[in-house]
Amino acid sequence: MTPVSTRDVKTGDRARRALAAVLPRTATTDADGGDSDVHLIVNGVRIRVKWVGEGELWQVRRLLAGDPGLLPDIVAARLLSPGAREALSKAGVGWVDETGAAEVSLPRLVISRSGQAPRALEREPRWNRSVLAVAEALLCGTAATVSATTRATGLSAASCTIALRTITDQGLLTASARRGRASGRRVEDPDRLLDAYARAAAAAMPKVSLTVGLPSRDPVGALAEVGQRWSQRGIAWAATGTIAAAILAPYLTSVSTADVYVDADTYPGLESVATAAGLQHLEGGRLTLRPFPTVTSRRLATTEEELRVVPWPRVFADLRAIGVRGEEAAEHLREVVRGP
């Protein structure tokens, strides 16, 4: 399927196109409806399709929390997350997204498609490490000004200027006026910014990693001891993923592994960091070491219950990368930090 630009396309049209793309060639369709809702007549059967945007779990949960009598037959989105797909399936609501994936079971229409890789979709604006760092700082409450983001991230004023412009161009920051005192930027929608940041962070996850053994059945306590050794040697480190979420917003019933960012950019550097704490490489080990993904992840890390923990937006992004349960834990973290 050839990628089609979705800029300036009404959401109702996107919902119709997404469903039409997975219908049999012999199917006949007619459509009417509003901007986010569309009613399709498929082989004479009227179907209500609703567009929910990117397809995040929280967007689907918000829809499902409404009046059951008003639920659509099919939900359409840009790219439904695994958790969103599972929630819709459990609720008995069909779904389709712009990858060509679909699961629909209606009296006269049954569709099951796996779709294709998300990269076939229109690419989002490029997020480099500076843009990620600035977005991370904004989500942690830093004002959307060059001076404030420069202080928070340690990046140059030029890098912060470009990063803020990039985020603004995506409609994630707005200004009250083009010039003057009222022209300061602000985050338009924190949830949109968080979701965009998390998608970009997952795509830019450092490729180099090292797994090592983690002593003790208590990963939090064991990591705290390992972290003390690193701190004593002046090595920066901070936990992320499930072990960080267990401290910031407990959700999962058990945590058996740990993911930690450390101040090393290469595989030999990671080995050196491990050796400094008396750890050795172990295939399938319970502790995974990776380089810090941004300067903000290191600079804004905090100490929580004897663990250094990366900023909560980074924990959120890393949780979403580990499957449905991780996605649910990420949404719980969002609710704890922002409120339901």
pLDDT at 125: 63
Higher local confidence (pLDDT), 178 or 126: 126
275-319: per-residue pLDDT in tens?
Answer: 999 999 999 899 999 999 999 999 999 999 889 999 999 999 999
Give the pLDDT band (50/70/90) at residue 323: confident
Is residue 297 within 8 A of residue 219, CB to CB? The reply is no
pLDDT at residue 183, as a whole number: 52
**Helix spans in the chain (H):** 11-20, 57-64, 82-91, 129-139, 146-153, 157-169, 190-203, 219-232, 241-248, 267-276, 295-299, 312-320, 324-338
Q: Tokens 């997204």, residue?
A: 97
Q: DSSP secondary-structure letter at 70?
A: G
How does DSSP assign 85-149, residue by residue?
HHHHHHHT-EEEETTSEEEEEETTEEEEEE---GGGSPPPPP--HHHHHHHHHHHTT--SSHHHH
The confidence score (pLDDT) of residue 313 equals: 97
Question: Three-class SS of residue 238?
Answer: strand
**Torsion angles phi and psi, residue 238, rounded to 5:** -165, 135
Instruction: Give the pLDDT confidence score for residue 281 in this predicted structure.
Output: 93
Angle at 314 between CA 311 and CA 318, to 5 degrees: 140
Q: Is the pLDDT of residue 94 over 80?
A: yes
pLDDT score, position 30: 67
- Mean pLDDT check: name the lowest of 8-22, 78-92, 169-183: 169-183
Q: What is the pLDDT at residue 6?
A: 43
Kindly indicate the confidence band of residue 175, based on its pLDDT and cuts at 50, 70 and 90.
Answer: confident
Output the average pLDDT for the chain: 87
pLDDT of residue 252: 76
37 vs 210 pLDDT, higher one: 210
pLDDT tens-digit map of 16-51: 888 888 887 766 666 665 556 788 877 777 888 999
Confidence of residue 181 (pLDDT cuts 50, 70, 90): very low
The tens digit of pLDDT for each residue in 189-203 reads 999 999 999 999 998
pLDDT of residue 34: 55
Percent of the chain with pLDDT over 90: 60
Q: What is the pLDDT of residues 163-172, one digit of tens each?
A: 999 999 999 9
Residues 201 and 220: beta-carbon distance below 8 Å: no
Instruction: Please check the confidence at residue 340 and state whether its pLDDT lies above 60.
Output: no
Has domain 210-338 been given CATH number 3.40.50.20? no
Give per-residue burial for 288-311: e unless 16+ CB within 10 Å, then b: bbbbbbbbbbbbbbeeeeebbbbb
Q: Report pLDDT for 164.
A: 94
**Contact status, residue 99 vs residue 82, Cβ threshold 8 Å:** no
Query: Is residue 141 scored above 50 in pLDDT?
Result: yes
Q: Is the pTM of this model over 0.85?
A: no
User: Where along the chain do its domains lie?
Assistant: 11-120, 129-203, 210-338
Residue 5 has pLDDT above 50, yes or no: no
Q: CA torsion sign, 124 to 125 to 127 to 131?
A: negative
CATH number of 129-203: 1.10.10.10
Bridge partners for 291 per DSSP: 262
Residue-level pLDDT at 249: 93
**42: phi then psi, degrees, rounded to nearest 5:** -105, 110
What H or E segment, with its residue span, contains residue 32? strand 29-32
Give me the pLDDT at residue 198, please: 94
How far apart, in whole angstroms, are the C-alpha atoms of residue 292 and residue 109? 48
Rg of the Cα atoms in the chain: 22
pLDDT of the residue at 110 = 85
User: In the predicted model, what is the mean pLDDT of residues 105-112?
Assistant: 84
Would you call 321 exposed, middle or buried from its count of C-beta atoms within 10 A (0-12, 13-18, 19+)?
middle
